Homo-oligomer: A and B are copies of this chain.
Amino acid sequence: MKRLVLAVALAWLTGAGSAVAQTPAPAPAAPPPAAAQPTPVAASAAKAITDEDLKSISGPKPEDKAKGDPAGTITGTVNDIPVSDSKKGLALDDLVNTVGQNVIAPNFIWTLITGFLVMFMQAGFAIVETGLARAKNANHTMMMNFMVYGVGMLGYWIIGFAIQMGGVAPNTNLGGLAPLNHEVAISLFGKNWGLFGTQGMFLGGATYDVGVMVMFLFQMVFMDTALTIVTGTAAERWRYSAFILSSLFMGAFIYPLFGNWAWGGGWLATLGASYGLGHGYCDFAGSGVVHSVGGVTALAMAIIIGPRIGKYSRTGKPNAIPGHDITLVLLGCFILAFGWFGFNPGSTLGAATSGNLRISSVAVNTMLAGMAGSFSGMYYMWIRYGKPDASMTGNAFLAGLVAITAPSGFVNPMASVIIGLIAGVLVCLSCEVIERKAKLDDVVGAISVHGTNGIWGVISVGLFADGRSNYAGAWNGVPGSVTGLFYGDAGQLVAQLIGVATLIGFVFTFSFVFNAILEAVWGHRVTPEVELQGLDIPEMGALGYPEFVLREEAATV
């Protein structure tokens, strides 16, 4: 037995050195990996592993560590595993619990950092919208975009998060989310219909929990993305105080309700488990939850607040009102594309185990669809109007990103390109319809980018999901992989269309009614004098660019 222990107890330094020398280089043309292939063994050769074997594994010595480790070969060893009893040394449960910690820590890292990227999208939206507005409203447009982050966060922290995610546990990626354990549901047609959650108000009580905090951060930044869509449509005429009230309500109630139904365990998510409609409503990263909710609310606002003075001639012909800074607009699109790498790939809520390595595929799908959208939109404009319009190319790029958001986790690269190509044309057509047929003034094209293409993204899941993903083997409680009509599951498309109907039927109505009431009791729109002067001085007390000389005509359009 003693010899057995000794035979297994190899010094780490020696072991590590040879490991490094014999495992292959990360560079190309290296020898194949020294995989741990099964070796036929004689039973008599097998030696039992003992607790002493574990304890006796030695890491690098302190005197060697003190000499420095430029190559990183003696850092990150047995020495770095926490032991529960330092006198006894490394025990099996130390090892096993550390393996579990090593699953959760990368998942936290992934979800937090991608959440940070999503938060940074606020900067992108801010300068896209401001660049597409006129210089006289720059301060006001920036401030709406700046404060929407805080306004939404406030409403979401108070109540919104609890409504949306208060009943979402269990979630394996983030360690369980056990405190988020109460969803209010009603029984309809013999099935439970989840309506809203209740845990997590103010992040107090049991929800003061490291896993819940990850979820809150990630969901919060998504919510704010939805809210900032509306400011783009209603820019250059929205009273700042009305904007705050409207956004607060949206962050506290409108967004979280649909969010609960789709992502929080509510009735849309369980359409599959309850009624056999595919995997229920599937919206990987929120073409519907975030973009369509923002887009239909923007549509409601555009109807209520009306077009800017000068947008339509007396005969109803629309006038182009160009943005004041194209550099800002396209810089903003880049920031958004950067942030979308958080938005979509981060929506796995983890990287380790459960098939989460598909984050790479999600990221590639995202950028391919954005690329495809920018191409089809650019060429559509080029062919139709003779020039490759920068603003519409940017919008078409965003349209591709919006459309791929829902399907990004379920489709392959070729499908992503097709989805993006359609999105790029769709946004141009939608903008024309909104501007010319509906006579709605959408300053940045947000209704078309986020509303129309958000819906297209939701539908595309039901068409293109290829049944190759495997997020722990189930999605929304239905075993097997999400599969669309083109790969054989018509039920999935039905679930998606129910989601679309809910967006148009419920979310639009709810937003419209609330904002119409706000219009009646508070008023959304600044006076014509303020609008003509520009909102910066009357509403915010300072010009955006007080030193730059602006063209007369621009200032008085």
Contacts and interface: CB of A to CB of B under 8 A. Distances in A.
Contacts of A331: 123, 126-127, 142
Interface stretch (A36-44, A427-435, A494-502): A36-44
A402 to B, nearest CB: 16
B57 A38 contact: yes
A387 interface: yes
A90 B55 contact: no
Interface string A56-95: 1111001001111111110111111111111001111111
Given A213-B364, A470-B71, A116 B338 contact: yes
B75 A202 contact: no
A112 to B, nearest CB: 6
Interface string A245-266: 0000000000000000001111
Interface residues of A, number: 237
B79 A25 contact: no
Contact of A387 (B39, B105, B168, B541): B541
A27 interface: yes
A110 to B, nearest CB: 5
Contacts of A551: 546-549
B76 A8 contact: no
Contact of A476 (B28, B138, B358, B378): B28
A507 to B, nearest CB: 19
B550 A548 contact: yes
A41 B52 contact: yes
Given A101-B77, A123-B335, A94 B51 contact: no
B98 A99 contact: yes
Contacts of A29: 194, 265, 269-270, 273, 476-477
A380 interface: no
Contact of A356 (B57, B72, B205): B72
Interface stretch (A289-297, A304-312, A322-330, A447-455): A322-330
A71 B19 CA distance: 30
Interface in A144-168: 145-147, 149-150, 153-154, 157, 168
A469 B39 contact: no
Contact of A26 (B41, B172, B550): B172
Most buried by B among A2, A53, A194, A270: A53
A341 B119 contact: yes
Contact of A353 (B98, B126, B210): B98
B364 A217 contact: yes
Nearest to A211: B75
A57 B41 CA distance: 12
A519 to B, nearest CB: 21
Contacts of A42: 2
Give the top 8 A-B pairs by smallest Cβ distance, nearest first. Answer: A72-B357, A387-B541, A76-B104, A2-B43, A36-B90, A105-B352, A34-B86, A123-B334
Given A68-B205, A72-B356, 9 more contacts: A10-B91, A34-B86, A41-B55, A48-B48, A71-B358, A123-B334, A322-B543, A389-B540, A546-B551
24 contacts: A19-B83, A27-B474, A46-B50, A48-B48, A70-B361, A73-B470, A76-B105, A77-B100, A78-B97, A78-B99, A80-B100, A98-B353, A101-B103, A106-B106, A106-B109, A108-B360, A112-B363, A116-B363, A150-B374, A157-B417, A202-B413, A213-B361, A326-B543, A390-B540
